[in-house]
Structures are given as C-alpha cells and as structure tokens.
C-alpha cells in the first residue's frame, strides 16, 4: 500500500527536477550522497532519539549527551567515517556537546597557533580523543574585549614554567563550552608576563583534570555555570567556570607560532601578525555561516509544509477552506526566508572557499588577505545569525498556535539557536569591526591603493556615486546588473556619507563612537551586497536539471528585492533609486511570490531533511499533522493519569470549599 502523503498534490505541482536541486543544495553529488547516508544512519539509530529531550532534567539531559557523544564516536570509528562525514554526523545528531568545542575550537586553536613541535605532541592525542579540550577565552568580566582579559601567565625563568593565575573574581573563565564537566585540557587565553612586562593576550595549553580520575588538578577550581535559556536546547552543553590558583605549566605549552618566550624569558614577536591569536574565531565564524543556512532551512521547511496543510477561511459551497500558504501576507513573510536559506547556503559555500584560500596563504606566510577574511567572516556571521534567529521566531508565528507547541520543533530550535548572535563575537561588535574595515578602505580610495575582493566595488565609487537606476517597469528589476548596481551604489554611498561625517570629528575615535549606530547600518548594507552578489555569481555557473536554474533565479530575485523593499529608506535616501522605482520593485516581488508558490514544497524538500532531524510534527514529510498532534498529546506525562497529582492536596479542597460557599 502506498504511504499516505498529504503533500502529494503540492509535490506534483513542482516545475523543476527535485533530485538535481538536492544536489545544488548539498554542493555536489558526492556531498549529497554522503549527507543522505549519514542523515539516515542517525535517524534510524535509537540512541540518537531526541523527541523526549525537552522533558529531561538537566542531569539526565547531560548524561544523554555524553551517551550520544560516546555512541557517535564509536560509530565514527567502527564505520571509519572521514572527518567530513563525522562532521555531518555531529550536525544530524543535533545536540550541542563538548565535542563541538573539542573539534571546532580546541584542535583548530592548536593547529593555527601552535608550532610544528606542538602539533606533533598534542594533535595525535586530541584526534584520538585521548584528551578532550575546550576554548577558554571569555571571563566573567570580559568577553568582547579580548584585550581586556585578566588571567595572567607569568614566566618563571627559575623553573622554566608559566604560573597561571586568576587574580580577581572577574578574571574567572566563564562560558567556555565543554569546560564545566568534561574537558581534560583547555586552550586558555591569558596575559603573558615576562620580566614584569605585560605582552598582551596569548594562548596556553593547560591540563585541567586528571586523566585517570577526572578530578581537577591542584590549584584548579572548575564547574558548570548553570541552566540556560529554554528547555533542552543549549543545556546539553556544560558551559563552565574556571579559576587558577598559581597553576604551573611548562614553557612549551604556550602556543608559540605568533610569539615565543625563550628559555631565558625573552619575549620574541615573529613576523606573523598578532591577529593570528584571533584565528580560531575566524574559522568558527565561517562554520557558523554554513550552519545558519541549515537552521534557517529547517525552520522554513517546517513553516512551509505546515502552511500548505493548514486551512483557514474562504470555504465556497461547503468546499475546503483556503490553505494559509495562499495568503499573500503569509507568502510575503515566508518566501523571503526561503530565499534567504538558499542565499546563505551559497554565501556559506563561498566563505568556505575564502577561508581555505586564506589558510593556504597563511601557511605560506602570506598575510595579505587576513583583514578581508576577518571582515567577511565577522560581517556574514553577524548578518546571517541575526536574520536566522529572527526568522525562526517568524516561522513560529507563521505556524499560528501550534507553532508554540514544543513538538512543532520551533521553540527548541529558537532557544538553541539564539546564542549564535552572541557567541563567537557579539553581532553588533562584529559589525563595528566590518565598519572599521570599510572606513579604512574609503580613506585609502584617493591613495591609489585599489580595493580588492569584496570591496572591489568601491574602486568604482566615482561611477556608483552618480549612477542613476534605469528601471521603468517592474520587470526591469529582473536584470542582474540592475540589482547589483543598486546594492553597490547604496553600500558605497552609505560608506562615503559616514566617512564624511566621521571627518567632522577632531578625534576619529570619538566620531566612531558617536556614529556607531550609522556605522552598523553601513556594515549591514555591505554584507547584504556580498550575499546578493554571491547568489548572482552562483547563477553564472552551469546548473543542470530541468527548471532548477530558473527556480534559483526566482529565489535570488526574491532575496534581493525583499531586501530592497525592507531597506527602501536607504536606497531612496541615498538617491540610488526613486520612490517610484521602489514601488515597481515591490510590484515585481508580488509577481515573484506567485511563481514561488507552486514550487514551495519541493523547494523545502530539496533540503533533504529527515523527520528525525526536523524534529517537528508540523514539518513532517507526509503532512499528516492533525493525527500526529492528537496522538502526541496523549504521550505527555501529564496525561499518564486521568486525575493529576496534587488533586487531593490542592484542587479538591478549593472545589469543596466552592460547594460549601455555594450552599451558604
Ligand atoms: C563526535 C563528533 C566528531 C566530529 C568531528 C568533526 C570535525 C569538525 C567539527 C567542526 C565543528 C564546528 C562547530 C563549532 C561550534 C562552535 C560553537 C561555538 C561556541 C562559542 C565559542 C565562543 O564564543 S569563543 C569566544 C569568542 N569570543 C569572541 O568572539 C570575542 C569577540 N571579540 C573580538 O574578536 C576582538 O576582541 C575584537 C572585537 C575584534 C576587538 O579586537 P581588538 O581589541 O584587538 O581591537 P581592534 O578592533 O583594534 O583590532 C585590532 C586589529 O585586529 C584586527 N582583527 C580583529 N579581530 C581579528 C581577527 N579575528 N582576525 C584578523 N584580524 C582581526 C582588526 O581588524 C584590527 O586591524 P587593524 O589594526 O588593521 O585595523
Ligand atoms: C552559549 C554560549 C557559548 C559560549 N561558548 C564560549 C566558549 O566556548 N569559549 C569562550 O571563550 N566563550 C564562550 N562564550 C562567550 C561569548 O563568546 C561571549 O559571551 C561573547 O563574545 C560576547 O561577549 P560578552 O558576553 O562580553 O558581551 P558584552 O561585550 O558584554 O556585550 C553586552 C552588550 O554590550 C554591547 N557592546 C559591547 N562592546 C561594545 C562596543 N565596543 N560597542 C558597542 N556595543 C558594545 C554588545 O553589543 C551587547 O549588546 C559563549 C557564550 C554563550 C552565550
């Protein structure tokens, strides 16, 4: 018997080859096949069950996380999974764990900031997980201001050791994931002091717990910082606190690629730029952009499938009501998010390429592209995570009341996702870094230094400052060059206007602080331009499959024109377009929504998410939402008994009193 599929009719409407779109989404046929295999592996394994997660106590949730991590590691070894497949497995298991920090930050920090001898000593143990590490940078008193960290590492030439110390309460390490209960080691960021002189913040490998008994080593106080936002969600992670009371480590445990301390206690700064101490953050910000597209796609998949099942109003002659996905308001809220998921996917692919390129250059001691890599990773991390966090909440609202049920999957997805706006750099702080980079680029425009990479458009500032948009009819907005020029002109005009305003301040730092809200807007305009331009570049590629490229063109136009509509004030105020051209863009946007509509379900099917990964009744593949909601309600522990616990103590006395009062 054929399986029931409430979306069958929707799926028949699709105007493109779904299998080919799945490959575009995955990045290649090989990626698609690997990811499909790993997703099924996870979905079919009872140890990776997660539907009861929000009901578990913190202790049970944590133990469940340890169990899943151990099982994942066993699967990785037994099946000889590659690092790429192991990472896919990590992401489909979908439960934040100490392993994220071990693989995602501890190992990269040693790789990026350690010497080859340090690699040889530490990496083999870390790869085999004979030691487990975390990234201990943030303190109770300082997170964003890394230069303000207070932990000290004082060199003692007598013993050839560093003395690690937490001099104040605010110097306690606070937040590192995996630190609270699991890590045996950490890369600790501390102020390096030699001969009484402070050389700023550097990384040190420090053992925290015994490898036999897991007890904290002498001088170390360590524990978990407590419950976080939401149930389930990020509470599977042991974010920790850590204090040092004069803990001794050998000199060769300072990560010495960027600077060294000699046996005599002499501080030596190599040719490698100091900023490489921040290198691990660049790496992780890049991975966060790719993850943003996954989280966004997941929320959009749930909201789209449910919007096709849900019906409200408009029944004619006793016929069915209207599917809520057919309301223009629903489309104008949902389809830009669908388009953003694709846009972030492609910009994530490009950022991965950029990061690989910069890493290869760094290995060859070419540091020229580091500022650009920092600006791109910081800006895109900030923009994509802010949009995704807001989008998950919007998807919850798009699902009406049922979106608020835990089993819609959206509340936990929101709770687990929102800290990405803060960790790995607060999003506003990161946008201000981008703005600094842009202001520097503008200030060098007259100097003959040609802007390159993502700021190359600034080299055409003269043209972009005075060009006029040529749109006369709605369909003129479908021309890629028209869209691109409008976004470039807006970004360059906003940058130059801000640079001019900054010039009015006698102290540039005062000006930067005063104008920071405007500078944030400038950075956003630049980041949006990057995403639009990378989507357009993607469309230049040969994309096989019936109708696939056409759908992507539609989504690209939706992405660009919805941004134009949302930020119309910027585009009109900078004179890039007229109010009438803005209205034409909006008209075109409505036409595009109508083109997305028949393909919506297939466009979310292309993410190839299993029901296990989605973890949502509203988003289940077959759309059998009502029956599943009804069945699920009965599984709630409150329904284990017909009469609730507490009835005799608390309800009955009130009810009886009510009867007595009524009799009076
Ligand atoms: C079993 C499974 C197996 C699986 C196996 C599978 C294997 C694969 C597994 C993969 C798993 C992945 C999962 C990951 C999960 C991650 C979870 C993450 C959790 C969260 C972690 C964290 O949360 S961890 C802490 C992050 N904490 C920040 O994020 C602090 C922000 N705060 C700053 O980042 C700085 O403090 C701030 C503001 C720049 C000011 O820096 P500052 O004070 O120095 O001041 P300035 O602004 O003056 O900067 C001076 C000059 O440095 C330049 N510059 C600045 N940064 C730069 C940089 N990064 N690179 C280059 N250049 C940089 C700047 O552009 C200036 O350049 P110029 O002088 O030329 O203008
Ligand atoms: C779930 C989670 C996991 C984490 N994991 C780790 C980890 O593994 N390792 C680790 O070391 N750290 C970790 N962190 C810490 C995290 O990196 C920091 O919290 C983050 O960098 C933000 O710093 P902060 O907390 O100091 O925020 P603050 O800087 O105190 O931010 C507070 C407010 O001030 C504003 N602000 C700050 N500076 C400026 C400025 N210059 N201009 C304008 N506005 C400003 C911010 O925009 C924000 O609104 C984690 C945090 C969380 C929430």
DSSP codes of every residue in 499-545:
HHHHHTSSSHHHHHHHTHHHHHHHHHHHHHHHHHHHHHHHHHS---S
- Report how far ligand 2's centroid is from the alpha carbon of 420 (Å): 10
Atom 44 of ligand 1, nearest CA residue? 147
* Ligand 1 pocket check for 512: Cβ under 6 Å: no
Give the per-residue pLDDT at 311.
97
Give the per-residue pLDDT at 449.
86
- Report how far ligand 1's centroid is from the alpha carbon of 415 (Å): 23
Residues that are catalytic: 424
Phi and psi for 435 in degrees, rounded to 5?
-60, -40
Q: Which residue has the tokens 């779904």?
A: 18
CA distance 256 to 114: 6
Ligand nearest to the CA of 141: 2
CA distance 517 to 512: 9
**For the segment 590-617, what is each residue's pLDDT rounded down to a tens digit?**
999 999 999 999 999 999 999 999 999 9
Q: Which atom of ligand 2 is nearest to the CA of 234?
A: 1
Q: Which atom of ligand 2 is nearest to the CA of 134?
A: 8
Q: Which residue has the tokens 């009371």?
A: 245
CA distance 543 to 564: 26
Ligand nearest to the CA of 96: 1
Atom 1 of ligand 2, nearest CA residue? 419
- Report how far ligand 1's centroid is from the alpha carbon of 143 (Å): 11
Chain-centre distance of CA 220, in angstroms?
32
- Report how far ligand 2's centroid is from the alpha carbon of 141 (Å): 10
Q: DSSP state, 323?
A: B
CA distance 294 to 610: 13
Which one of 425, 426, 431 would you pick to mutate in the ligand 2 pocket, going by the greatest count of ligand atoms within 8 A of its CB?
426
CA distance 143 to 423: 9
Nearest Cα residue to 72 out of 53, 57, 50? 50
ipTM surpassing 0.90: yes
CA distance 495 to 560: 20
**For the segment 513-564, what is each residue's pLDDT rounded down to a tens digit?**
999 999 999 999 999 999 999 999 999 999 999 999 999 999 999 999 999 9
| Angle of CA points 100, 530, 542, to nearest 5° | 90
CA distance 164 to 154: 7
- Report how far ligand 1's centroid is from the alpha carbon of 279 (Å): 6
Nearest Cα residue to 67 out of 48, 88, 40, 92? 48
Q: Which atom of ligand 1 is nearest to the CA of 87?
A: 6
* Ligand 1 pocket check for 146: Cβ under 6 Å: yes
Instruction: List Cβ neighbours of 253 (8 Å cut-off, separation of 6 or more).
Output: 162, 204, 205, 206
- Report how far ligand 1's centroid is from the alpha carbon of 58 (Å): 30
8 A C-beta contact, residue 274 and residue 287: no
Give the per-residue pLDDT at 365.
87
Atom 2 of ligand 1, nearest CA residue? 90
Dig out the tokens for 588 from the structure: 């075109």
Which one of 140, 423, 509, 513 would you pick to mutate in the ligand 2 pocket, going by the greatest count of ligand atoms within 8 A of its CB?
423
Q: Which atom of ligand 2 is nearest to the CA of 138?
A: 11
Chain-centre distance of CA 128, in angstroms?
27
Instruction: List Cβ neighbours of 557 (8 Å cut-off, separation of 6 or more).
Output: 477, 478, 483, 588, 592
CA distance 388 to 408: 17
- Give the three-class secondary structure for 583: helix
> Which residues line ligand 2 at a C-beta cut-off of 6 Å?
101, 135-138, 142-144, 175-177, 234, 239, 419, 422-426, 428-429, 432, 516
Which one of 234, 433, 440, 516 would you pick to mutate in the ligand 1 pocket, going by the greatest count of ligand atoms within 8 A of its CB?
433
Nearest Cα residue to 261 out of 366, 115, 112? 115
Q: Which atom of ligand 1 is nearest to the CA of 430?
A: 38
- CA-CA distances (angstroms) from residue 206 to 4, 213, 361, 439? 56, 17, 29, 39
Give the residue ranges of the chain where pLDDT is below 50: none
* Ligand 1 pocket check for 488: Cβ under 6 Å: no
Ligand nearest to the CA of 139: 2
CA distance 334 to 604: 12
What 398-405 contacts at long range (C-beta under 8 Å, 24+ apart), as own/partner pairs, is: 398/303, 398/306, 398/307, 398/330, 398/333, 398/334, 399/302, 399/303, 399/306, 399/307, 399/310, 399/618, 400/310, 400/324, 402/306, 402/618, 402/625, 402/629, 403/303, 403/306, 403/618, 405/617, 405/629
CA distance 236 to 406: 17
Instruction: List Cβ neighbours of 27 (8 Å cut-off, separation of 6 or more).
Output: 349
Ligand nearest to the CA of 377: 1
Atom 48 of ligand 1, nearest CA residue? 433
Q: Which atom of ligand 1 is nearest to the CA of 440?
A: 71
Atom 25 of ligand 2, nearest CA residue? 143
| Angle of CA points 145, 149, 152, to nearest 5° | 165
Torsion of CA 578, 584, 586, 590, to 10 degrees: 180
* Ligand 1 pocket check for 238: Cβ under 6 Å: no
Which one of 424, 426, 455, 513 would you pick to mutate in the ligand 1 pocket, going by the greatest count of ligand atoms within 8 A of its CB?
424
* Ligand 1 pocket check for 190: Cβ under 6 Å: no
Q: Which atom of ligand 1 is nearest to the CA of 422?
A: 23
Instruction: List Cβ neighbours of 386 (8 Å cut-off, separation of 6 or more).
Output: 421, 427
Atom 26 of ligand 1, nearest CA residue? 424
Ligand nearest to the CA of 378: 1
- Report how far ligand 2's centroid is from the alpha carbon of 146 (Å): 10
Give the per-residue pLDDT at 135.
98
Q: Is 177 annotated among the ligand-binding residues?
A: yes
Atom 17 of ligand 2, nearest CA residue? 423
- Report how far ligand 1's centroid is from the alpha carbon of 595 (Å): 41
**For the segment 38-95, what is each residue's pLDDT rounded down to a tens digit?**
999 999 999 999 999 999 999 999 999 999 999 999 999 999 999 999 999 999 999 9
- Report how far ligand 2's centroid is from the alpha carbon of 143 (Å): 5
CA distance 483 to 453: 19
* Ligand 1 pocket check for 275: Cβ under 6 Å: yes
* Ligand 1 pocket check for 147: Cβ under 6 Å: yes
* Ligand 1 pocket check for 370: Cβ under 6 Å: yes
**Does pTM top 0.90 for this prediction?**
yes
- Give the three-class secondary structure for 457: helix
**For the segment 335-379, what is each residue's pLDDT rounded down to a tens digit?**
999 999 999 999 999 999 999 999 999 888 899 999 999 999 999
Exposed (0-12), middle (13-18) or buried (19+): which is 604, by Cβ within 10 Å?
buried
Give the per-residue pLDDT at 349.
97
Give the per-residue pLDDT at 446.
84
Q: DSSP state, 45?
A: -
Ligand nearest to the CA of 138: 2
In 549-611 the beta strands, taken as DSSP E runs, fall at none
Give the per-residue pLDDT at 571.
98
CA distance 575 to 569: 10
Dihedral sign computed on CA atoms, order 157, 163, 168, 173: positive
Which one of 136, 138, 174, 179 would you pick to mutate in the ligand 2 pocket, going by the greatest count of ligand atoms within 8 A of its CB?
138
- Report how far ligand 1's centroid is from the alpha carbon of 499 (Å): 26
């Amino acid at each position: 018997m054929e399986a029931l599929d409430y979306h069958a009719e929707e799926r028949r409407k699709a105007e493109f080859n779904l299998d080919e779109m799945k490959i575009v989404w995955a990045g290649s046929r090989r990626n698609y096949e690997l990811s499909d295999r790993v997703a099924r592996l996870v979905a079919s394994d009872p140890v990776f069950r997660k539907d009861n997660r929000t009901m578990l106590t913190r202790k049970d949730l944590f133990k469940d996380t340890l169990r899943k991590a151990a099982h994942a590691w066993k699967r990785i070894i037994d099946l000889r999974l590659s690092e790429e497949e192991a990472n896919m497995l990590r992401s489909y298991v979908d439960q934040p764990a100490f392993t994220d920090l071990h693989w995602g930050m501890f190992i990269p920090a040693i790789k990026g900031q350690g010497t080859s001898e340090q690699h040889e000593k530490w990496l083999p143990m870390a790869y085999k997980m004979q030691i487990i590490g975390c990234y201990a940078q943030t303190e109770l008193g300082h997170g964003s201001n890394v230069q303000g960290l207070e932990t000290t590492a004082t060199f003692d030439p007598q013993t050839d050791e560093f003395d690690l110390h937490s001099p104040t309460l605010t110097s306690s390490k606070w937040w590192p994931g995996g630190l609270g209960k699991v890590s045996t080691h950490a890369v600790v960021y501390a102020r390096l002091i030699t001969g009484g002189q402070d050389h700023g913040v550097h990384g040190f490998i420090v053992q925290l717990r015994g490898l036999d008994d897991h007890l904290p080593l002498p001088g170390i106080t360590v524990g978990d910082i407590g419950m976080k936002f939401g149930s389930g969600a990020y509470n599977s992670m042991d974010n920790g606190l850590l204090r040092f009371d004069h803990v001794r480590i050998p000199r060769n445990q300072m990560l010495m690629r960027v600077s060294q301390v000699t046996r005599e206690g002499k501080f030596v700064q190599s040719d490698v730029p100091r900023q490489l101490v921040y290198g691990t953050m660049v790496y992780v910000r890049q991975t966060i952009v790719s993850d943003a597209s996954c989280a966004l796609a997941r929320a959009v998949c749930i909201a789209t499938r449910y919007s096709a099942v849900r019906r409200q109003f408009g029944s004619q002659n006793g016929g069915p009501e209207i599917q809520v996905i057919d309301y223009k308001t629903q489309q104008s809220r949902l389809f830009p998010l669908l388009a953003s998921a694709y846009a972030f996917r492609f910009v994530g692919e490009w950022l991965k390429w950029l990061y690989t390129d910069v890493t290869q250059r760094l290995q060859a001691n070419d540091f020229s592209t580091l500022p650009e890599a920092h600006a791109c990773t910081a800006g895109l991390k900030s923009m994509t995570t802010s949009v995704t966090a807001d989008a998950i909440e919007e998807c919850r609202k798009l699902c009406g009341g049922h979106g608020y049920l835990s089993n819609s999957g959206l509340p936990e997805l929101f709770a687990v996702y929102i800290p990405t706006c803060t960790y790995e750099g607060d999003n506003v702080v990161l946008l201000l870094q981008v703005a600094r980079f842009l202001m520097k680029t503008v200030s060098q425009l007259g100097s003959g230094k040609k802007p390159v990479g993502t700021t190359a458009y600034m080299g055409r500032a003269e043209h972009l400052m005075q060009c006029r948009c040529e749109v006369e009819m709605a369909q003129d907005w479908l021309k890629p060059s028209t869209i691109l020029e409008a976004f470039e002109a807006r970004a360059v005009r906003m940058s130059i206007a801000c640079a001019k305003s900054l010039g009015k301040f006698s102290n540039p730092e005062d000006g930067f602080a005063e104008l920071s809200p405007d500078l944030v807007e400038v950075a956003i305009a630049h980041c949006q331009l990057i995403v639009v331009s990378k989507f357009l570049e993607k469309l230049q590629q040969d994309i096989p499959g019936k109708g696939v490229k056409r759908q992507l063109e539609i989504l690209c136009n939706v992405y660009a024109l919805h941004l134009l509509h949302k930020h119309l004030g910027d585009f009109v105020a900078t004179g890039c377009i007229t109010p009438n051209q803005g209205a034409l863009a909006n008209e075109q946007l409505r036409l595009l929504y109508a083109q997305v509509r028949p393909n919506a379900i297939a466009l979310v099917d292309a993410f190839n998410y299993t029901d296990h990964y989605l973890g949502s009744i509203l988003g289940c593949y077959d759309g059998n939402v009502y029956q599943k909601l009804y069945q699920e309600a009965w599984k709630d522990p409150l329904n284990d008994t017909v009469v609730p616990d507490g009835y005799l103590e608390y309800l009955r006395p009130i009810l009886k009193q009510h009867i007595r009062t009524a009799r009076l």
